[in-house]
C-alpha cells in the first residue's frame, strides 16, 4: 500500500511539473527537504517564488485531493518554505502557496491548479 501511494505521488508530481512548465513556470527544485518537512515543488512564476503542494488521487474514496492540505499540513509547508527562503537568501522575494490537485484516471487525468491556496500558517 505504501509503495503504491509513493508511486501515485511521484506520478502526480511529474504531471504537475509538466503542467507548470507549460504555464511558463520555472521549476527551481523538486522534493526540497529540511528538518521541518518537504515541499513537493518550488518554482518561479514571474518574480514570485511559489511553493507547490501536489495531491493526487486515483479514486474518490478519500475525498478531493486538495482536501488533504489540512491546516496542519499548511503549517508544516509554511515552516519548510520559511526555511527555504532563509537558506537560499530569498527573504526579500514575494512568495505564495499553490496546490495542484490531480485526479488520476485511465480516461484522462484532471489537473486543478489552485493559486494562493492558503496564506502563511502559524502555530
- Locate the domains of the chain by residue range: 2-118
How do the pLDDT tens digits run along the chain, 123 residues long?
A: 456 677 778 889 999 999 999 999 999 999 999 999 999 999 999 999 999 999 998 877 778 999 999 999 999 999 999 999 999 999 889 999 999 999 998 889 999 999 999 999 875
Burial 44-55 (b: 16+ CB within 10 A, else e): ebeeebbbbbbb
Sign of CA dihedral 66, 69, 74, 79: negative
Q: What's the alpha-carbon Rg for the chain, to the nearest Å?
A: 14
State the CATH class of domain 2-118: alpha beta
DSSP single-letter state for residue 65: G
| Cβ neighbour number for residue 38 with a 10 Å cutoff | 13
**Which pTM value belongs to this model?**
0.92
Sign of CA dihedral 41, 44, 50, 54: negative
Using DSSP bridges, classify how beta strands 26-34 and 37-45 pair: parallel, antiparallel or unpaired: antiparallel
Amino acid at each position: 500500500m505504501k509503495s503504491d501511494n509513493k508511486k501515485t505521488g511521484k506520478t502526480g508530481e511529474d504531471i504537475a511539473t509538466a503542467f507548470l512548465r507549460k504555464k511558463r513556470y520555472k521549476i527551481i527544485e523538486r522534493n526540497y527537504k529540511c528538518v521541518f518537512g518537504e515541499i513537493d515543488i518550488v518554482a518561479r512564476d514571474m518574480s514570485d517564488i511559489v511553493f507547490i503542494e501536489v495531491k493526487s488521487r486515483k479514486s474518490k474514496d478519500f475525498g478531493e485531493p486538495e482536501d488533504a492540505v489540512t491546516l496542519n499540513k499548511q503549517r508544516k509547508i509554511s515552516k519548510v518554505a520559511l526555511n527555504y527562503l532563509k537558506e537560499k537568501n530569498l527573504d526579500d522575494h514575494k512568495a505564495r502557496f499553490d496546490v495542484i490537485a490531480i485526479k488520476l484516471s485511465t480516461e484522462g487525468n484532471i489537473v486543478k491548479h489552485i493559486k494562493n491556496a492558503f496564506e502563511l500558517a502559524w502555530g
